[in-house]
Structure 1
Amino acid sequence: MKLNVEEATGLARKAAMSAGANEKIAASLANATVAAEVSGRPAVGFAHLPDYLEGFASGRISCDAQPDIDFPTATTIRADAKNGIAQLGFDLCFDRLVDRAKQYGVALFSQSNSYTAGELGYYTRRLAGADLVSIAVSNGPALVTTMESRQPVFGTNPFSFGAPVANGSPLVIDQASSATAFVNVRDAASRGEPIPDGWAVDQQGIATTNAQDALTGMLLAFGGSRGANIALLVEVLAAGVTGANWSIDAPSFEQGEASPGVGLFVVAIDPKVFAPDFPARLASQIDRLTAKGLYVPGRGRKADDIVLKLSVLDAIRRYFPSGDVAV
């Protein structure tokens, strides 16, 4: 099924409401889902939506959560997602986060007790659109190990960086601390395809290229101990500073009735406090780097239409009473 942005947003919103979410939650999730697709990250777009729908239906995600929000200091915003989606708390605080960053030069957003954060670039891309430089980190249930540990110790613990670029789309870096994202392994397993060496180990901690064995095993941190160090850094900020569950204490994001209760931590910086011409300087530097053959992430062509696979449509269809997903 090929959809334009408006149609895709409507479908995602209706699907979330059909699974039990209220209108505000459904709208927030739909916007984030479509943003991932438009930015070329379909693995955390509609392919990830059924995880949310099943979470609503099973009780892992609160269908009517209203985040508690307070302001501990002039430059900090703290949210408790109340076992709801991560995107809603950020959406509710976005304008105030931007205002504080521009007033004070820097502002921090800390959120605990949410479902996993989805596409992390969603948060930094929006802040770049407000002319801010930002760093975002989040944790999740423990799926990642090292060859030394061979036990699940971290979530995929992604981190994202965003920055405004004059006369162009923002610079957005969004990657997991694991060798790959869990959704990529699950996608390979669904197609019966192998995964690259170095992505995962099986239940016994033995390296595997079998995607099915990886699903019941563990992902590996990228780059060995260096990637594990970054995963730990993310964990300290996303779980430690926010007060959310540590990854090893977080319930599954795809089984059971308990929320993962994980965290999201965002730093927003106004670069013009230090360099008034920052967006133009960055645009010039990116031009120099691309002329040297460097791939710069987040700068590719954006999707005009969204194409949904039949398998994804079938998974969404389960949550519509009539089975009709027409928009």
Structure 2
Amino acid sequence: MRLGREAAWTLAYGACRGAGAGEAIARSLADAVVAAEWVGRSSVGLSHLRDYLVGFTSGRIATDVEPELDDPALAIIRSDAKGGIAQLGFDRAFEELCNRAGRYGLAAFAQRNSYTTGELGSYVRRLAERGLVALAASNGPALMAAALGSEAVYCTNPLAFAAPVAGEPPLVIDQASSATAFVNVRQAAEKGEAIPEGWAIDAQGQPTTDAREAVKGALLAFGGARGGNIALMVEVLAAGISGANWSLDAPRFMTGAKSPGAGLFVLALKPDLLEPDFADRLRQQLERLSGKGVHIPGRRRAEDTIEVPKAVIEALERHGR
């Protein structure tokens, strides 16, 4: 079924409220999942919202908490999500983060004790739309092994980067440290589809292309040890600096009644303090790369509507009722 932006937002907001989320949380989460849909990241859009809804009803996500923000230094904002969603803490800090990056040249946001962060690219995209270069890292429950035959020690530990481009949408790079995102494996398991080699191992630590066995096992890092190194860097930024749970200590995001206690780290930099023509220089460089066949990530879709599986819409409507 095809939905316009307003209809998609109303569906998401109503589902959140129906699942018990407070006004602020429902608005923040609806904004985030609809934004993910409109940049083509449906795996962390409305279909992923179902995980949040079950999280609300099971007690894994606090439904009506206000993040606690403080500033231990002039260019640092710290947030305790108190078991709620990650998006609301960032929303509360967003304007001040932009202001401080503009005033001091750079500013950092660190948050602990939240549910998983959803589309990580949305955090840096919003900053790039305000003229800032941004980097973000987040973690969550252990889902990824560092090597064949080993146990899961990291989450998919994504890293996202965005930069402003003159007259164009921002450049946005958002990718997991794992060979693929966990939601992609789970969707393949639900459909009974096979997954490519190198994505995951089964519960015995053996390579598998059976998505249902992969869900019981662990994802693999992209590029072997190099991907594992990136996951470790993300872990240090997202969990170590913020005081969040290490992935090994984080409760699962799909079961139980405890929050994963995930971490988020965002760094914002004002580039024109260093290079006044940065956004235009980047535009010219991206045009040159594109002319050589290089894929430039982050381009928005132009459609007025999105296509959403009927089963997803029906599930969200049930919560809304």
Relative to the length of structure 2, the TM-score reads 0.98
- Within a 5 Å distance, the mapping from 1:274-289 to structure 2 comes to 274-289=274-289
In structure 1, the residue matched to 2:80 is: 80
- Within a 5 Å distance, the mapping from 1:148-187 to structure 2 comes to 148=148, 150-187=150-187
Could you list the per-position Cα deviations for residues 50-82 of structure 1 after superposition, in whole angstroms to 9, with x for gaps in the alignment?
000000000000000110000111100000000
Distance 1:301 1:294 in 2: 18
Displacement of 1:300 in angstroms is 4.8
In structure 2, the residue matched to 1:27 is: 27
- Within a 5 Å distance, the mapping from 1:60-209 to structure 2 comes to 60-148=60-148, 150-209=150-209
In structure 2, the residue matched to 1:324 is: none
Distance 2:316 2:190 in 1: 16
In structure 1, the residue matched to 2:253 is: 253
Displacement of 1:259 in angstroms is 0.2
The AA in structure 2 aligned to 1:129 is E
Distance 1:301 1:53 in 2: 27
Instruction: Sort the Cα spacing of 1:307 and 1:59 in 2 relative to 1 into closer, same or farther, 3 A.
Output: same
Contact 2:239 2:263 in 1 (8 A): yes
Distance 1:297 1:229 in 2: 23
Distance 1:302 1:229 in 2: 36
Displacement of 1:148 in angstroms is 4.8
5+ residue gaps, structure 1, are: 322-327
Could you list the per-position Cα deviations for residues 116-167 of structure 1 after superposition, in whole angstroms to 9, with x for gaps in the alignment?
0000011000000000000000001000003356101000000100000000
Distance 1:248 1:265 in 2: 18
Displacement of 1:101 in angstroms is 0.1
SS at 1:266 equivalent: strand
RMSD over aligned Cα atoms:
0.9
Displacement of 1:319 in angstroms is 1.5
SS at 2:193 equivalent: coil
In structure 2, the residue matched to 1:45 is: 45
Contact 2:15 2:318 in 1 (8 A): no
Distance 2:183 2:278 in 1: 35
5+ residue gaps, structure 2, are: none
Contact 2:179 2:221 in 1 (8 A): yes
Contact 1:40 1:303 in 2 (8 A): no
Could you list the per-position Cα deviations for residues 224-243 of structure 1 after superposition, in whole angstroms to 9, with x for gaps in the alignment?
00000000000000000000
Distance 2:291 2:308 in 1: 35
Contact 2:11 2:320 in 1 (8 A): no
Contact 2:11 2:317 in 1 (8 A): no
* More moved, 185-194 vs 197-206: 185-194
Distance 2:24 2:168 in 1: 31
Could you list the per-position Cα deviations for residues 232-261 of structure 1 after superposition, in whole angstroms to 9, with x for gaps in the alignment?
000000000000000000000010000000
Identity within the alignment, %: 57
The AA in structure 2 aligned to 1:159 is L
Distance 2:227 2:303 in 1: 31
The AA in structure 2 aligned to 1:59 is G
Contact 2:60 2:259 in 1 (8 A): yes
Distance 2:58 2:148 in 1: 36
Relative to the length of structure 1, the TM-score reads 0.97
Number of residue equivalences: 321
SS at 1:64 equivalent: coil
Contact 1:77 1:110 in 2 (8 A): yes
In structure 1, the residue matched to 2:265 is: 265
In structure 2, the residue matched to 1:232 is: 232
- The alignment status of 1:16 with 2:16, answered yes or no, reads yes
Contact 2:44 2:118 in 1 (8 A): yes
Instruction: Sort the Cα spacing of 1:243 and 1:117 in 2 relative to 1 into closer, same or farther, 3 A.
Output: same
Contact 2:112 2:242 in 1 (8 A): yes
Distance 2:270 2:132 in 1: 5
Displacement of 1:308 in angstroms is 1.4
